[in-house]
Structure 1
Amino acid sequence: MAKKFSIITFIFFFGVSLHSFAQENEDWRLYKPGKTTNRQDSLRTIRENLNIQPELGSIKMIEDSRITQLNERKKEYPTKMDGYRVQIYFGDRSAAQEKRGAFVRSNPELGAYLSYLAPNFRLRVGDFRSRLEAEKLKKEIARNFPGCYIVKDKIELPPLEVAKTEDSENPAEN
């Protein structure tokens, strides 16, 4: 049995080695590369050969109603991103609501978010992409809300401010 195995192994390796010697050693640099084609040429050739003519058509979309509902829900509850807020209070509910009212009266353009973290409520204000923006608000409100500090939080996407230039204001003059 061992003798048969060694003979079969010898024949196998002998055959593999003969096959490897059969490879030719031609220099690949002797052959010029073929004509390269681009995608547009290929598509044009296919259209010409198949006589495909562009036509107007109609598309019928069949989608599950749950997809539409999901899109609507996404609009109602927008994606939140990492950002910064200024925490101005942490304590009982009634005091948190009072401070929230005071803040909203003085800064109606900024959001004030009351959240519960057992057993206390925390009041965080603003939606800032950078810590520098949050620092500016903190300096403004520190007199009325001492002890406020900046925290990382998930924020609602604030609108981007578009800087207007003289060129963009009067495009007809250019």
Structure 2
Amino acid sequence: MRFLAFKRRTILTTSALFCVGFAFAQQGEITISKDPKIDKLLTYQKEINQETDNDNRLKVQIFSGNLKNADKIKRNFEAKNNDVPVNMKFETPNYKVWVGNFRTRLEAERYLAEVKETYPNAFVFTPLKKKKKK
């Protein structure tokens, strides 16, 4: 009985290997054609992104206080997180340290969760737009 099971397994294995030997992927060429308007749209989008004022995006404020402490916190943050933009702004009477440049609230909230461990008073906000004088 065991001999028949062994013989059956051997035949199945041999036939499977034989079939696999003849299986191969299809050979051919892929041609991708795109509308020339796509390039114009990409160029237009790049121009818009360059013109966008980055001060109007969401930011995380990690500190508000005197100049000495604000500068110290800014340097410490830059040393640990060199890939995140850091700004120090003066709004009477305090200096504020703002980090990040987030497009969506979700991105900002995720980053806030990371920053809250080190800076418990941090929060997300959108800076007010500056009014242009005529």
TM-score, L = length of structure 2: 0.54
Ranges in structure 1 where 5+ consecutive residues have no aligned partner: 1-76, 156-174
Question: How do residues 90-105 of structure 1 correspond to structure 2 at under 5 angstroms?
Answer: 90-105=64-79
Is contact 1:87–1:149 with CA below 8 Å preserved after alignment? yes
* 1:120-168 CA-partner distances (Å, limit 9, x unpaired): 101100000011101111111111111100011279xxxxxxxxxxxxx
**CA separation of 1:107/1:117 partners in 2, compared to 1, >3 Å: closer, same or farther?**
same
One of 102, 112, 119 as aligned partner of 1:138: 112
Q: How many Å apart are 1:105 and its aligned residue?
A: 1.1
Q: For the aligned residues, what is the CA RMSD?
A: 2.0
Ranges in structure 2 where 5+ consecutive residues have no aligned partner: 1-49, 130-134
The residue matched to 2:108 in structure 1 has which SS? Answer: helix
- Supply the AA of the counterpart residue of 1:130: T
* 1:92-124 CA-partner distances (Å, limit 9, x unpaired): 001001110111111100000100001110110
Number of residues of Structure 1 aligned to a counterpart in Structure 2: 79
One of 99, 102, 112 as aligned partner of 1:125: 99
**CA separation of 1:148/1:138 partners in 2, compared to 1, >3 Å: closer, same or farther?**
same
- Measured in 2, the distance between the counterparts of 1:80 and 1:101 equals 25
Is contact 1:84–1:154 with CA below 8 Å preserved after alignment? no
TM-score, L = length of structure 1: 0.42
- Supply the AA of the counterpart residue of 1:109: D
Higher gyration radius (CA): 1
2:61 corresponds to? 87
